[in-house]
Amino acid sequence: MTISNKKSESNESSSGSTFVPVEPFEIVVFGGTGDLARRKLLPSLYHRYRDGQISDDSRIVGVSRSQHSRAEYQELIEKYYHEFAKGEEFDPKLWAKFIKLVDYVSIDVMADKDWSALGKALSGKSDLIRVFYLAMPPRMFADICDGLKTADLVHEKSRVVLEKPLGTDYDSAREINEGVGRVFKENNIYRIDHYLGKETVQNLLVLRFGNILLEPLWSNQAIDHIEITAAESIGVGGRGSYYDGAGALRDMVQNHLLQLLCLTAMEAPSSLDANDVRTEKIKVLRALRPITPGSVKRKTVRGQYARGKVDGEAVTDYMSDVDVTESSTETYVAIKAEVDNWRWAGVPIYLRTGKRMSSRRSEIVIQFKSVPHSIFGDTPVNPNKLVIRLQPDEAVKLWFEVKEPGAGGMRLKTLPLNLSYADNFTVRYPDAYERLLMDVVRGNLSLFMRRDEVESAWKWVDGILEAWEQSEQRTELYAAGSEGPAEADDMLSGYGHKWSEG
């Protein structure tokens, strides 16, 4: 194996991180001119090349319907790189070497019968790892896999990566899984949830299972409730046609938020092995209490953003953004989830996600119980709180009660122990896709979802979708730039709680 852009066994990047090179591989990106390829996949591959993790004998083949020559595609992806990877170090010489790895094939996967051009662009070596990345609408997944089989492009070392959302409900997810499963074995199927590739999401595993302090408190004995928030300030951008048929429940809750819930609530796996971790996660999904037409109004709030101001700038409402005159699609959802097992009985886990909220903020808040008896008379004693900030300003904050210094009686103050990532680590955080792409090449499935996980998550989400439909639950409007609909605050106050402010 030659790693010509950098030297040895493990390579140190300019930012100080050490990367272990992966075996040479070839990757075919279906949807090679699409949004994900432009913004994430191709820049991620370049960054891994830049850090010496990808060797010069690897190759990258973009596939899409558009007609481009190889040189035109190479130019396009350089243009996209400058557009989307702002702030990244760009070395024209290194880029010139990287771009030699990149080829392009035009195929209309739903119409063209002849995929031989793709075969020609690949090495033909059956011992080279071959990755098919399907950055395409999920309804096409099974057909693409059939096409690959018919063209005889799948060999022992081939694997397929499926982008989310996998289907639109349990039945469609099953159908896709069946279709893909006819061509690829389960351990060659990588169902991606990019949240699992985020550094701070992986840190959740270290925080929980690399420290003895938290575990004795990590249950209904000491925890009152949990909040999991993924708030975004962006709107739906140019993804209106997809988003209007999906909504926040399918787009964010079915995957990202439920994965965060699993990592927060699962038992300790016996190792980091993919099946050990995934087996623990699925137990949580199976223990989620179904939300029914009878409980849906008490346990969920749907919202849609109206006009407003984000970061001081006026922004349009959702319906103008997706160019429709009527839509009840939710861009915000808040849910009271409950995990029915011994550890979590009686502990609500509030999930919340929304677009066009006041700021971008993803975090998990563990709200502990109050001390059982206060010795401080009328002085209020705030319960402890652990805030795991996933993005931005990655940090772990543990809020404590301390004595405010000075005379004048025993005054208590709530202060954080603040473990900020930025203060402790100066390395560049690789994008989640960088980590996940390299894991696919390495054959490490730990951060990918197993078929039963995805299907269980859909079962729970389907229950909510059906209950919304049956109960005709309204979608409440909220001003863009706000904290979401007031009904979500009311829902929590109905349970004696309040959303945390971080």
- CB 194 to ligand BG6: min, Å: 6
Q: Confirm or reject binding of residue 363 to ligand BG6 (CB under 6 A).
A: no
Collapsed DSSP state (helix, strand, coil) of residue 448: coil
Query: Is the CB of residue 352 less than 8 Å from the CB of residue 228?
Result: yes
State which residue has the least CB distance to ligand BG6: 251
| C-alpha–C-alpha distance, residues 330 and 487, integer Å | 14
| C-alpha–C-alpha distance, residues 87 and 228, integer Å | 30
Pick between residue 198 and residue 281 the one whose CB is nearest to ligand BG6.
198
Pick between residue 76 and residue 310 the one whose CB is nearest to ligand BG6.
310
| C-alpha–C-alpha distance, residues 354 and 119, integer Å | 43
- CB 262 to ligand BG6: min, Å: 16
Pick between residue 362 and residue 367 the one whose CB is nearest to ligand BG6.
362
- CB 496 to ligand BG6: min, Å: 30
- CB 163 to ligand BG6: min, Å: 9
- CB 81 to ligand BG6: min, Å: 19
Pairing of strands 158-162, 332-337: unpaired
Q: Confirm or reject binding of residue 338 to ligand BG6 (CB under 6 A).
A: no
Pick between residue 348 and residue 481 the one whose CB is nearest to ligand BG6.
481
Q: Which of 47, 194, 225, 256 is catalytic?
A: 256
| C-alpha–C-alpha distance, residues 104 and 35, integer Å | 16
Q: Confirm or reject binding of residue 251 to ligand BG6 (CB under 6 A).
A: yes
- DSSP H helical segments within 288-347, as ranges? 296-299, 318-322
Query: Is the CB of residue 234 less than 8 Å from the CB of residue 322?
Result: no
DSSP state of 462: H
Query: Is the CB of residue 412 less than 8 Å from the CB of residue 380?
Result: yes
Q: Is 194 designated active site? A: no
Pick between residue 304 and residue 362 the one whose CB is nearest to ligand BG6.
362
| C-alpha–C-alpha distance, residues 440 and 194, integer Å | 13
User: Which residue of 78, 232, 317, 338 would you call a contact of ligand BG6, by CB under 6 A?
Assistant: 232
Binding mask 174-213 for ligand BG6 (x = CB under 6 A): ----------------------------------------
Pick between residue 153 and residue 480 the one whose CB is nearest to ligand BG6.
480
Total Cβ atoms within 10 A of residue 60:
25
**Residue 99: closest CA among 1, 5, 2:** 5
419 is written with which tokens? 């473990």
- CB 236 to ligand BG6: min, Å: 7
**Residue 179: closest CA among 155, 164, 160:** 160
Residues 6 or more apart whose Cβ sits within 8 Å of residue 120: none
| C-alpha–C-alpha distance, residues 176 and 170, integer Å | 10
- Per the DSSP assignment, residues forming a β-bridge with 403 are 412
- CB 196 to ligand BG6: min, Å: 11
Pick between residue 194 and residue 451 the one whose CB is nearest to ligand BG6.
194
| C-alpha–C-alpha distance, residues 68 and 440, integer Å | 28
Total Cβ atoms within 10 A of residue 462:
19
**Which parts of this chain interact with ligand BG6 (CB under 6 A)?**
232, 251, 362
Q: Which residues are catalytic?
A: 256
